[in-house]
C-alpha cells in the first residue's frame, strides 16, 4: 500500500529588524556648525531608513554642548535611557570626538551599553564596540581625542593672554553698575548709587548682612533681577573694576576636562590695565575698604558689633573636631527663673552627636574653672582676656588652658547644674507640669496620677469596646500580673473625685487644679491628695453583674454540648437509650 506524505506549507520567518539610532553633536553655537549638525541629522536619518535590516529609532543631537562632560548633554542622556528601556540595538556616530572627548566617560558609556548588548559604531574610525579589539582601539583613540581638547584649550589660553597684554578683555563680562556700549564699559547711574551706598555702609561699620536687609527694604534687585544677597555685596566690595581700572586673569580654569575654576593666588600672571572706563569708587576709598576688610578678618567675630559676644567667644576650641564652642541661651519650659547659658561645640550644635560627642559646658561651671586656674577669688573678664589665649576641650569634663605666656594648665571639672537647679519648689512645679502635659493617645487627666502603694507602680488605663460601639475604661496596676491590687472603673474614679471636691459632677479642669495624686493604699481603698495638703479617704467595690440563665437557655446549652461530644467521637445523632451520656443537672 502506498504511503502518502502530506507536506505542510511553511511560512518563511523574516529576521527581526534591528532598532538603530544615531548620535550627533556640535560644541559651539554658530551658523556654520548649525549647518553641520543639520547635515549630520539628515545623513543618518537617510542612512538608517535605506537599510531594510534596520528600523529607524531616531537621531539624538546635542547642540552647542561640550563633549568633555555627559552631565549637561540632554539628548545623550535621553539616548542612554532609551537604550536601558530596550528601544535601541545599534548606535551610529560620526567619530569618537563626537561621542565623547573624555576618555573615562567614553569607556564608561561604551561598557554600559556593551553590558546591555548594544553596539556603538564609529564611522570615521571604523570601530564597532562589540568587536574583539573594539575597546582597545577606543581607549587609544579616546586618549588622543582628550589630548586634542587639552591642546585646543592651551591654544585658546595663549590667545586670551595675548589679548590681556594688549588690554583687551576676554569677552563682555556682566558687572553691576555698568553696561557695555560697544567695547567700552558705561556707568549705569541708578546702579552706581547702590554701589556707592554699599561702600559707604561698610566704612561706617555695617556688615554685608545689614546692607542686604537695607537693600531689600528699598526694593533693590541684583543685576539679574533677583534678591541682592550678602555674597554679591561682598563681591562688589572686592571688585577693583569700580575704580575705573581692569585686572585680568583673576581666575583661571584648572583643566579643560573638569572645567573647574580657581582664584588666581599667584599661580599665573595677572594683567593690570589703568583708566579703561569711568570710575564709580575712588581708588583711595577702595583701598580703605580693603584695609577695613583685613582688620575685620583679623578680629573675627568681634568685628561685628551686632553679634552678642563675651570674653569666651572664639576662645574655646573643641579638641575633637577643631570647631569653636558657641554660646547658647536656654529657657526653662515653665519656670522663667530656670533660664541658663551653656557653651556647645559648633559641630555638635549643627549636626548633633553623630559628628562630635563633646559635652556642653554650663557658663557658671566655665567661670568657676577659669577662676580656679587663674587663682582668683571671683571671675574677672579682664584678667581672663589678658592671660588666656584659648581653652581646648579634648574630652568631656576636661579642659586645657593655654596661657599667652606659653604655660599650659590642664583642668578637670564636673557639672552640678542639674543638682543645683532642682530645688524642692522647682521639683514640685516640674512634677505638676509633667502630670498636666504628659498625655498620650490612651490617656486622660488621671494618667500618671494614680499610684499603687503595694508595688510602687502607676495605674494604667485599659479600654474595652462593646458590640454597640460604646467603651468602658478601667484602671489597673502596671504590675497587675504580680500585684494583687484591684482594678477600678473610670466612672467610679470620677464619682469619688467629684465627691472629694464637693461637686455634683466630675470636672476635669477642677481636678487638674486641685488634685495632685491618688494613692491605692489597700485593696478597694484609696487616698486622694490635694495640692493644698489635705487628703480624702474613700472605698469602692467592684460588682460583677452575671446574667441569669433561663431554663430554656440551660436546656439549649445541654443539647449543644451533647451534639459536640457526638461529633468529636463519631457517633450518630439517632442514638437513644439509657446508655446515652447525660450532662448537667436534670432540672
Q: What is the DSSP string of 302-317?
A: GG-TTS---TTTTTEE
| pLDDT tops 50 at residue 571 | yes
Mean pLDDT to the nearest integer, 512-524: 89
| pLDDT tops 70 at residue 32 | no
Q: What is the mean pLDDT of the chain?
A: 80
Is 66 within a domain?
A: yes
Q: What is the DSSP letter of 481?
A: T
| 143 shares a domain with 39 | yes
Q: What is the DSSP letter of 255?
A: -
| 284 shares a domain with 213 | yes
The CA distance from 4 to 19, in Å, is 45
| 112 shares a domain with 33 | yes
Q: What is the pLDDT of residue 445?
A: 82
Is 448 within a domain?
A: yes
| pLDDT tops 60 at residue 303 | no
| 262 shares a domain with 325 | no
Q: Which three cell numbers stand for residue 539?
A: 472605698
Beta strands 18-26 and 90-93 are: parallel
CATH number, residue 259: 3.90.1750.20
Beta strands 388-393 and 316-318 are: parallel
Is 516 within a domain?
A: yes
* pLDDT > 70 fraction of the chain, expressed in percent and rounded: 75
483 closest CA partner among 465, 449, 464, 460: 460
Between 500 and 542, residue with greater pLDDT: 500
pLDDT in tens, 222-233: 888 889 888 899
pLDDT bin (cut points 50, 70, 90) of residue 166 is low
Q: Which three cell numbers stand for residue 489?
A: 472603673
CA atoms within 13 A on the CB side of 261: 5
pLDDT bin (cut points 50, 70, 90) of residue 10 is low
What's the predicted TM-score (pTM) here? 0.41
| Neighbouring residues of 367: CB distance < 8 A, sequence distance ≥ 6 | 379
Q: What is the pLDDT of residue 82?
A: 92
Judge whether 21 and 88 are in contact, CB under 8 Å.
yes
Residue whose grid cell is 555638635:
348
Q: What is the pLDDT of residue 578?
A: 46
pLDDT bin (cut points 50, 70, 90) of residue 94 is confident
E strand spans, 258-405: 261-263, 271-273, 316-318, 325-330, 340-345, 361-362, 388-393, 398-403
E strand spans, 35-170: 54-63, 90-93, 119-122, 127-128
pLDDT in tens, 487-507: 998 889 999 999 999 998 999
Q: What is the pLDDT of residue 392?
A: 93
| pLDDT tops 70 at residue 256 | no
| pLDDT tops 60 at residue 119 | yes
Spatial strand order in the sheet of 488-489: 459-465, 471-477, 488-489
- The structural domain count of the chain equals 5
- Cα dihedral 415→419→420→422 (10° resolution): 140
Q: What is the DSSP letter of 21?
A: E
Judge whether 136 and 107 are in contact, CB under 8 Å.
no
Integer-rounded Cα radius of gyration of the chain: 43
* Owning domain of residue 518: 440-539
Longest dimension (CA), the chain: 133
pLDDT bin (cut points 50, 70, 90) of residue 584 is very low
The CA distance from 459 to 480, in Å, is 9
Can you spell out the DSSP letters for 436-459? HH---TT--TTTTTEEETTT-PBE
| 461 shares a domain with 361 | no
Domain final position from 362, 391, 420: 420
Lowest mean pLDDT, pick from 254-258, 376-380, 516-520: 254-258
Lowest mean pLDDT, pick from 24-33, 539-548, 556-565: 24-33
Q: What is the pLDDT of residue 518?
A: 92
* pLDDT > 90 fraction of the chain, expressed in percent and rounded: 16
CATH number, residue 130: 3.40.50.1390
pLDDT in tens, 339-361: 778 889 988 888 877 778 888 88
pLDDT in tens, 182-221: 878 889 999 999 999 999 998 888 888 889 999 999 998 8
Domain final position from 303, 333, 360: 303
CA angle 110, 111, 115 (to 5 degrees): 115
| pLDDT tops 80 at residue 447 | yes
Lowest mean pLDDT, pick from 177-186, 274-283, 420-429: 420-429
Judge whether 236 and 130 are in contact, CB under 8 Å.
no
Is 430 within a domain?
A: no
pLDDT in tens, 130-164: 887 777 777 776 666 666 667 766 676 677 677 66
Is 7 within a domain?
A: no
Domain final position from 391, 420, 449: 420
pLDDT in tens, 395-443: 888 999 999 999 999 999 887 766 666 666 666 666 665 555 554 555 6
| 136 shares a domain with 37 | yes
Q: Rounded to the nearest 5°, which phi and psi values hold at 491?
A: -65, -30
Helix count (H) and strand count (E) of the chain? Answer: 17, 25
pLDDT bin (cut points 50, 70, 90) of residue 240 is confident
425 closest CA partner among 340, 334, 356, 324: 334
Q: What is the pLDDT of residue 399?
A: 92
| Neighbouring residues of 449: CB distance < 8 A, sequence distance ≥ 6 | 435, 515, 516, 517, 518
Is 3 within a domain?
A: no
Q: Find how far residue 135's CA is from the centre of its chain.
A: 41
Q: Which three cell numbers stand for residue 474?
A: 478601667
Q: Find how far residue 337's CA is from the centre of its chain.
A: 35
Q: What is the pLDDT of residue 294?
A: 85
| 284 shares a domain with 187 | yes
| 566 shares a domain with 444 | no
| pLDDT tops 70 at residue 79 | yes
Is 224 within a domain?
A: yes
| 288 shares a domain with 190 | yes
CB atoms within 10 A of CB 487: 14
Q: What is the pLDDT of residue 579?
A: 47
Q: Which three cell numbers stand for residue 214?
A: 537695607
The CA distance from 100 to 108, in Å, is 11
Mean pLDDT to the nearest integer, 564-587: 56
Q: Which three cell numbers stand for residue 355?
A: 559628628
Q: Rounded to the nearest 5°, which phi and psi values hold at 463?
A: -120, 140
Amino acid at each position: 500500500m502506498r504511503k502518502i506524505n502530506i507536506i505542510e506549507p511553511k511560512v518563511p520567518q523574516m529576521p527581526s529588524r534591528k532598532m538603530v539610532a544615531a548620535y550627533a553633536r556640535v560644541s559651539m553655537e554658530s551658523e556654520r556648525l548649525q549647518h553641520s549638525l543639520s547635515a549630520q541629522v539628515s545623513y543618518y536619518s537617510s542612512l538608517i531608513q535605506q537599510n531594510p535590516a534596520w528600523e529607524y529609532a531616531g537621531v539624538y543631537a546635542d547642540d552647542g554642548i561640550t563633549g568633555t562632560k555627559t552631565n549637561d548633554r540632554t539628548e545623550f542622556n535621553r539616548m542612554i535611557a532609551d537604550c536601558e528601556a530596550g528601544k535601541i540595538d545599534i548606535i551610529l556616530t560620526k567619530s569618537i570626538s563626537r561621542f565623547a572627548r573624555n576618555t573615562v566617560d567614553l569607556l564608561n558609556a561604551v561598557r554600559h551599553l556593551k553590558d546591555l548588548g548594544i553596539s556603538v559604531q564609529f564611522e570615521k574610525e571604523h570601530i564597532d564596540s562589540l568587536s574583539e579589539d573594539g575597546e582597545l582601539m577606543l581607549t587609544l583613540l579616546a586618549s588622543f581625542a582628550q589630548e586634542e581638547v587639552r591642546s585646543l584649550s592651551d591654544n585658546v589660553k595663549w590667545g586670551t593672554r595675548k589679548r590681556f597684554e594688549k588690554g583687551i578683555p576676554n569677552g563682555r563680562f556682566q558687572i553691576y553698575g555698568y553696561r557695555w556700549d560697544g567695547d567700552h564699559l558705561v556707568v549705569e547711574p541708578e546702579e552706581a548709587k547702590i554701589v556707592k551706598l554699599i561702600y559707604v555702609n561698610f566704612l561706617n561699620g555695617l556688615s554685608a548682612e545689614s546692607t542686604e536687609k537695607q537693600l531689600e527694604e528699598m526694593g533693590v534687585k541684583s543685576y539679574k533681577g533677583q534678591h541682592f544677597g550678602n555674597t554679591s555685596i561682598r563681591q562688589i566690595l572686592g571688585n577693583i573694576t569700580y575704580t575705573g581700572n581692569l585686572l585680568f586673569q583673576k581666575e583661571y580654569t584648572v583643566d579643560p576636562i573638569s572645567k573647574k575654576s580657581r582664584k588666581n593666588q599667584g599661580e599665573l600672571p595677572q594683567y593690570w590695565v589703568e583708566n579703561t572706563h569711568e570710575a564709580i569708587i575712588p581708588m583711595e576709598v577702595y583701598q580703605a575698604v580693603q584695609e577695613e576688610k583685613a582688620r575685620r578678618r583679623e578680629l573675627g567675630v568681634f568685628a561685628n558689633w551686632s553679634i552678642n559676644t563675651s570674653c569666651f567667644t572664639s576662645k574655646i576650641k573643641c579638641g575633637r573636631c577643631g570647631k569653636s564652642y558657641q554660646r547658647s541661651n536656654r529657657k526653662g519650659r515653665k519656670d522663667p527663673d530656670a533660664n541658663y547659658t551653656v557653651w556647645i561645640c559648633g559641630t555638635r550644635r549643627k549636626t548633633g552627636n553623630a559628628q562630635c560627642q563633646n559635652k556642653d559646658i554650663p557658663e557658671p561651671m566655665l567661670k568657676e574653672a577659669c577662676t580656679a586656674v587663674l587663682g582668683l577669688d571671683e571671675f574677672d573678664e579682664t584678667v581672663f582676656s589678658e592671660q588666656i589665649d584659648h581653652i581646648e576641650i579634648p574630652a568631656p569634663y576636661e579642659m586645657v588652658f593655654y596661657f599667652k605666656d606659653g604655660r599650659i594648665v590642664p583642668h578637670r571639672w564636673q557639672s552640678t547644674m542639674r543638682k543645683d537647679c532642682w530645688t524642692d519648689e522647682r521639683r514640685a512645679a516640674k512634677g505638676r507640669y509633667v502630670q498636666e502635659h504628659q498625655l498620650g493617645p490612651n490617656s486622660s487627666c488621671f494618667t500618671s496620677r494614680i499610684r499603687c502603694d503595694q508595688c510602687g507602680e502607676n495605674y494604667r488605663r485599659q479600654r474595652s469596646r462593646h458590640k454597640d460601639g460604646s467603651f468602658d475604661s478601667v484602671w489597673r496596676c502596671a504590675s497587675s500580673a504580680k500585684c494583687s491590687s484591684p482594678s477600678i472603673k473610670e466612672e467610679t474614679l470620677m464619682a469619688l473625685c467629684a465627691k472629694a471636691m464637693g461637686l455634683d459632677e466630675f470636672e476635669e479642669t477642677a481636678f487638674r487644679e486641685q488634685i495632685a495624686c491618688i494613692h491605692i493604699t489597700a485593696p478597694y481603698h484609696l487616698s486622694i491628695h490635694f495640692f493644698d495638703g489635705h487628703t480624702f479617704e474613700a472605698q469602692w467595690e467592684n460588682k460583677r453583674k452575671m446574667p441569669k440563665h433561663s431554663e430554656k437557655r440551660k436546656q439549649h446549652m445541654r443539647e449543644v454540648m451533647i451534639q459536640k461530644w457526638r461529633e468529636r467521637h463519631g457517633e450518630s445523632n439517632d442514638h437513644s437509650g439509657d446508655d446515652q451520656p447525660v450532662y448537667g443537672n436534670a432540672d
